[in-house]
Structure 1
Amino acid sequence: MNLVSTDFKFFIEYDANPFVLFNAKGKIVYLNSSAEMLMGSCASEKLFDVTLSYAPKSFGYKKTLIDLSFGYFEFYAINVLYENEDEIAIHLYNKPMPKINNKVNLEGYSQTDINLLFEANIELFKMNYSGKLQLITDYDLPKLYIHQNNFSFLIRKIFDNMNSATQILINIKIKIGELIIVNGKKYPIILFIFQANNKNRQNHKEIKRIAMDNYINIHCQEESIILEIPAIDF
């Protein structure tokens, strides 16, 4: 055993990977700064269930490679640890920074105010939509280069997916703490989070294909669709 007198709480607190400590009843005793951001997209009860499901059978730790996601947070592995019956912890390991390896073809791309383009698509959708639609956006988002026709086509497909929902909530914001590498350069990521109380999952495959063809990462979940758009600029 390596005997060191250093207090490791500082290093855990500012680890980029989320760390959460529960008591035996599932109440959070401690979480680091990365886990604080995660909890905005994940219920503590759900994370506690994951912790128990992958816990070692006896005192110690158990590392597991797992494809795990909560909203737009993605992990490739977890480590569950406990040394008594009173507390149990989970350490989640972030997937590496997204990287587009191939040379991105920007033919047809133009500098775009993404909010204006998206709001135009919303107005078209609302002409035939009778439910409630709420948009929460950051109007200070940077302009970016995007293929406007392809993006609008993707948005229309997503709205078609949610046409039967009575409520749709859309949140647009910068993804904090993560960049994407495109053609060797790092760019911010703009998140489009669509949430609906009822949506059709039959065209998920087509939506994913359109998104990936346009260098947009996408997560299709039971009640949400999340786009990660690289804010490419020159």
Structure 2
Amino acid sequence: MNLEQQWLEYDFNPFILFSHEGKIVSLNAEAQFLLGSANQKEIFELTTAHAPLSYGFKTTFLDIEFGRHRFFGITVGYIDDDTIGIKLYRFPTLNKNNIQKPEGELTNIFTIIDLCISSNSIGRSIEFVKDFDPTIPDIIINSNKLVKVLDLMYKCFLDNKKITTRVYYRIGEYIKYDEKKYSLFSIEISAKKLDQTYLHELQEYIVSTCFYLDIKEHKLTINLPIIT
């Protein structure tokens, strides 16, 4: 690759070039990670929805999220009818100096989750549904902080008849500590109603941890690195 191609490949912002049929012609490294959270079709639809009316380029500022990926704008461009490209501008949500590698002891995640479910089920008629990927290994983490975070996450949903917990790999996503890449997995808790009172308490506590919290209308997710 020449310098121009390498510059695009290692850009912090995702870039995807589509055919007119919506098939991917090329993409850079960051776009590959983005496709772990967003599907190809919805990004192509975003591209065509914000394309210029005639040949050229158009930049649009908008707040858009795909999982843990958040962007503040996009540029869409095409110079013929065969291909169209999109570049998404990543929101600087984290201060690099605050990204700390988790410390603690080797912990079985499923044991911690079961403990939190057990403590929050006492005296309540709630159906706790578990959807776990059993291949996720024990990880190094501060178990006390994890218990506190999960406990608050469950408390946000106690006014429900059913609460679902998912544990799954985040395919294609990773985080870097000391120039080393670590894969990510998620603990996702969801139900129909979310208690805003406990959510505020959770948000206040999460800043004292190294965990990333993703908040949606009916679910809460923390993304954790697999450090063994």
- Give the TM-score, by structure 2 length: 0.69
Would you say how many aligned residue pairs link Structure 1 and Structure 2?
220
Report percent identity of matched pairs. Answer: 20
**Paired residues of 1:191 and 1:226 also in contact (CA < 8 A):** no
Q: Is structure 2 residue 36 aligned with structure 1 residue 70?
A: no
**SS of the counterpart of 2:80?**
coil
What are the ranges of 5 or more consecutive residues in structure 1 without an aligned counterpart? Answer: none
Q: 1:193 to 1:225 in 2, by over 3 A?
A: same
1:130 matches 2:127: yes
Residue from 97, 107, 110 that aligns with 1:113: 107
Letter of the 1:80 partner, please give it: V
Deviation at 1:24, TM superposition (A): 4.5
Would the alpha carbon gap of residues 84 and 205 (structure 1) be closer, same or farther in structure 2, given more than 3 Å must change?
A: farther
Residue in structure 2 matching 1:226, options 218, 221, 225: 221
* Cα pair 1:194 1:224 within 8 Å, conserved: yes
- Asked if residue 28 in structure 1 is aligned to residue 19 in structure 2, the reply is no
From 171, 174, 178, give the equivalent of 1:177: 174
State the 1:57 CA deviation: 4.1
- 2:39 maps to 1:43: yes
TM-score of the superposition, structure 1-length normalised?
Answer: 0.68
| Alpha-carbon distance, 1:92 to partner | 2.5
Give 2:107's aligned amino acid. D
Structure 2 unaligned blocks of 5 or more: none
Given candidates 119, 137, 140, the residue that maps to 1:140 is: 137
Alpha-carbon distance between aligned partners in 2 of 1:57 and 1:201, rounded to the nearest angstrom: 45
SS at match of 1:143: strand
Specify which of 207, 212, 219 is matched with residue 217 of structure 1: 212
Report the RMSD for the aligned CA atoms in angstroms: 4.2
* DSSP 3-state at the match of 2:133: strand
* Partner in structure 1 of residue 146 of structure 2: 151
The answer to whether residue 188 in structure 2 is matched with residue 194 in structure 1 is: yes
